[in-house]
Structure 1
Amino acid sequence: MVQVWKWGRRRSTFPLISLIFMLLITATILFNEFKIQHFHHNQSSDHHLHLQHTLNFSPVELDRFTTCSSTVKYSGREVGWGGNHRYLPVSDGEKECDVFSGKWVFDNTSYPLHNESHCPYMSDQLACHKHGRPDLGYQYWRWQPNHCNLKRWNATEMWEKLRGKRLMFVGDSLNRGQWISMVCLLQSVIPAEMKSMSPNAHLTIFRAENYNASVEFLWAPLLVDSNSDDPVNHRLSDRIIRPDSATRHLSKWENADILVFNTYLWWRQGPVKLMWSSEENGVCEELDGRPAMELAMKTWADWVDSYVDPLEKRVFFVTMSPTHMRSQEWNPERQGNCYNETNPITQENYWGNDSDVPTMRMVEKILSRLGSKVRVLNITQLSEYRKDGHPSIYRKFWETLSPEQLSKPESYSDCIHWCLPGVPDVWNELLFHFL
């Protein structure tokens, strides 16, 4: 035994050096790993704190009574999201058909998909036939993609997709129109005792108990917090936003399963005033609509980038809805707007001047950096053709019209919103197609 021990001592010099060397390497690796983890922990904590500041910190809530103590020139300040350069995943199989490129086909056999008078939730702003529109042709147009077919609408199948889920539309009155369209498309298959609608509020909810599902609308016309967030009293001459905070809205939308966002129209009404979350004295900066919209979009994108897992939450962004304010654009010999228009535009790739290309490029750039976290519903081009689809004079107007206005129907025609049944139903067919 002694010999063994001595042999072991004599032969252990090199292994001992190796052991010490290995221990040093291991210690170095563990130390570096600790530094890396500590760095990532701090980075994660810093980002979390940044999001808390960007998205959740709002010392004074804006409302319709909020005013600026003074207004100064925009300082150039940015919100804290630069985005990542991502690209949409490419399928290994057949290339996905472009359902946004196509034409409108008259189809009075399978359309309309619902009946205006049979939907108890129809809005007077969109019920064109009820308010005297004599022609019904606007209800019978089907969108036909060039090289494929849209998935045929099926209300029961849609409810199965929504079973146990919350579908929420977030945005302005155009998104509210799409929400009403969706409710009207779905409500007829739900027994009366199984469906309910909450009162009009910041968040309005249609619920189907037998599917444990809801279709909701959140009024957030500028996406970020603003003085126009009251769903009724929001027609203010001065728009004031918190470009770095969406606290009021995200507290409602963050737990929805399927989200459909839009924003655009309210950014086209002159300069916007910015009141940053850190501002305590009511001082505002002033900025034109498009760059102000870009700030708001980045704050929204920061939330999507940080909190949306595409495997658990589906997010859609609806591109701008076109208007038809000047009939010279589709008929140079005619002065007017969408009033008395009864047929779509047939000119291929028609593009109106009210469709703001620079704004759409800005939105496209931001969405591209979110990659597969957001699916774009590109309704702009297909809706451009539908000069006939607006309420025009056939809707309820909240303001009293003067005799002079009444004598000139074009002066008060609504060429922004859409009649139902009509164009927004097709937007929802697109949503159904991608779900």
Structure 2
Amino acid sequence: MKIDSLKHKFLYKHKNLLLNFVAATFLIGLAFRFLFFNSSEIPPVLQSPFPEKTAVLEPSVSTPVTEDGPKIADQINDAEKCDVLVGDWVPNPSGPVYNNESCKFIESHQNCLTNGRPDRGFMNWRWSPRDCELPQFDAERFLRMMRNKKWALIGDSISRNHVQSLLCMLSMVEPAEEVYHDKEYRSRKWHFPSYNFSLWVIWSPFLVKAAIFEDMNGVATSEVELHLDKLHSEWVDEYQNLDYMIISTGKWFLKSSIYYENDSIIGCHYCPKRNLTELGFDFAYRKSLRLAMNFIASSNHKGLIFFRTSTPDHFEYGEWFSGGNCNRTAPVKEGEMEMKDLNRILRDIELEEFANATAKASRNGVNLKLLDVAPLSLLRPDGHPGPYRQFHPFAEGQNAQVQNDCLHWCLPGPIDSWNDIIMKMVIDG
């Protein structure tokens, strides 16, 4: 999934350069896997560097909401309305509202402190909008507001990362009870009985129908098969039953894939062994997002739907397969770090397709909002597990060769501020 070194010429399908570069990159990745993982099964270079393995854990304009119901628009103090997504990371000496010991919902890969990360500063920052105040997430108030409601976070492992953050916060008020999980613990549902509030994470990394031939260690035996004209039933079937949703996708489209329409193959992305037209991941991403956005905008859904932009990775001095790391221990300032080309392409498609859907959503009374966390996430290269996605990776010496995770987020960590932002957007509109 981390192929930042592909240049613009690749992105516009100059096939000769593509084949030369992919071949070279594949050989590098092959060597890395052989040297450091001693595995005879080498996944394609475009496969995920971090298997979606889930440990079984223990147990347009929307109407603002308050504990007593919708707030009338003229009751909102206009002076307090601002773009909460424009701001800075500022010191927060009080630290997070939960810790890695108080929350049982943190997966081992994101439990950076338990895994031995020595620094603590990455937890002591909060997001501060420039033109208004952003209160800290109030779990008790949130649960009161969401009495008898259903929330779902729909997407890939970043959505799962986010739902764990939200569960950690809410469970400081009332422990969440797990009431459902699928076979692989990817789609799950929790309930807060005192509030009759349900929180789901729905696994749908492409939003469209997909056949994924990959084991729990991330080793693929064949290309992903994507049906670009069919939405994934896992989330569509529950769509009208949900009051609030946060929908996202992104990085999985970089995988080797075969593309279908009307159940017939139309092309692929990175399938050199097949005699198929190379269409590129950007082609599939745009078509899939357009299909999903059109479904949402035409749905007459009466709740609130956030579309969250994909988050950038922070690999430096290489990629996931070539020794890249994310060893920074503090945020950077705006302008100090540029978004990588691939992340920018994904984001541009997201913003374009969201903009195309908003007029239709408004006409149909669908409350569709953009949750653009990419710019503020770009400023937090310090917030990833890095080598501490594994338990004490340097127990046998600081020179140990370890794989870094510079995509997901430590818990507690920067992703907790997403909940502050979401609550502000829900309350103030």
Q: Same fold (TM over 0.5)?
A: yes
- Alignment map for 1:341-380 (pairs within 5 Å): 341-348=328-335, 350-354=337-341, 356-371=343-358, 372=362, 373-380=367-374
* 1:108 to partner: Cα distance: 1.8
Greater Cα shift, 360-369 or 157-166: 360-369
Counterpart of 2:197 (choices 208, 213, 218) is 213
Cα contact 2:112–2:388 (8 A) shared by 1: yes
* 1:102 to partner: Cα distance: 1.5
- Classify 1:375/1:118 alpha carbon distance in 2 versus 1 (closer, same or farther; 3 Å): same
Q: In the alignment, which residue of structure 2 is the partner of 1:408?
A: 401
Cα contact 1:261–1:318 (8 A) shared by 2: yes
- Alignment map for 1:417-432 (pairs within 5 Å): 417-432=408-423
Give the count of matched residue pairs.
Answer: 329
Counterpart check, 1:225 vs 2:209: yes
Greater radius of gyration (CA): 1
| Gapped regions of structure 2 (runs ≥ 5) | 1-59, 63-72, 269-278
**1:147-195 superposed Cα distances (whole Å, 9 cap, x missing partner):** 21213310011112221111100001011101111111101211x5x73
* 1:235 to partner: Cα distance: 5.2
- Alignment map for 1:210-359 (pairs within 5 Å): 210-228=194-212, 236=220, 238-249=223-234, 250-270=236-256, 272-279=257-264, 283=265, 285-286=267-268, 287-309=279-301, 312-326=302-316, 337-348=324-335, 350-354=337-341, 356-359=343-346
Identity %: 26
Cα contact 2:315–2:406 (8 A) shared by 1: yes
Cα contact 1:221–1:229 (8 A) shared by 2: no
Letter in 2 for 1:414: D
Cα contact 2:314–2:326 (8 A) shared by 1: no
Cα contact 1:197–1:205 (8 A) shared by 2: yes
Q: In the alignment, which residue of structure 1 is the partner of 2:170?
A: 186
Counterpart check, 1:381 vs 2:379: no
Instruction: State the SS of the aligned residue for 1:206.
Output: strand
* 1:288 to partner: Cα distance: 1.0
Q: Matches of 2:198 and 2:217 in 1, distance apart?
A: 26
- Classify 1:151/1:308 alpha carbon distance in 2 versus 1 (closer, same or farther; 3 Å): farther
**1:357-398 superposed Cα distances (whole Å, 9 cap, x missing partner):** 33322221211133253111111111111111000011248x
Instruction: State the SS of the aligned residue for 2:351.
Output: helix
Cα contact 2:153–2:247 (8 A) shared by 1: yes
Counterpart of 1:199 (choices 181, 202, 212) is 181
**1:180-220 superposed Cα distances (whole Å, 9 cap, x missing partner):** 11111101211x5x733533545300111111111110000
* 1:339 to partner: Cα distance: 3.6
* 1:247 to partner: Cα distance: 4.3
Letter in 1 for 2:162: Q
**1:377-420 superposed Cα distances (whole Å, 9 cap, x missing partner):** 111111111111000011248xx99x9997334xx111111100
Name the structure where helix makes up a greater proportion of residues.
1
**1:324-358 superposed Cα distances (whole Å, 9 cap, x missing partner):** 112599xxxxx974443211113546423256333
Q: In the alignment, which residue of structure 2 is the partner of 1:140?
A: 124
Q: Matches of 1:432 and 1:133 in 2, distance apart?
A: 30
Instruction: State the SS of the aligned residue for 2:110.
Output: coil
Instruction: State the SS of the aligned residue for 2:267.
Output: strand
Q: Matches of 1:144 and 1:327 in 2, distance apart?
A: 30
Cα contact 1:338–1:390 (8 A) shared by 2: no
- Classify 1:307/1:358 alpha carbon distance in 2 versus 1 (closer, same or farther; 3 Å): same
Instruction: State the SS of the aligned residue for 1:112.
Output: coil
Letter in 1 for 2:413: G
Q: Matches of 2:419 and 2:96 in 1, distance apart?
A: 13
Q: Matches of 2:213 and 2:237 in 1, distance apart?
A: 14
| Gapped regions of structure 1 (runs ≥ 5) | 1-86, 330-334
Letter in 2 for 1:380: A
- Classify 1:118/1:364 alpha carbon distance in 2 versus 1 (closer, same or farther; 3 Å): same
Cα contact 2:192–2:198 (8 A) shared by 1: yes
Q: Matches of 2:144 and 2:371 in 1, distance apart?
A: 21
- Alignment map for 1:143-158 (pairs within 5 Å): 143-158=127-142
Letter in 2 for 1:170: I
Q: Matches of 2:154 and 2:217 in 1, distance apart?
A: 18
Q: Matches of 2:134 and 2:128 in 1, distance apart?
A: 7
Instruction: State the SS of the aligned residue for 2:305.
Output: strand
Counterpart check, 1:114 vs 2:108: no
Cα contact 2:227–2:263 (8 A) shared by 1: no
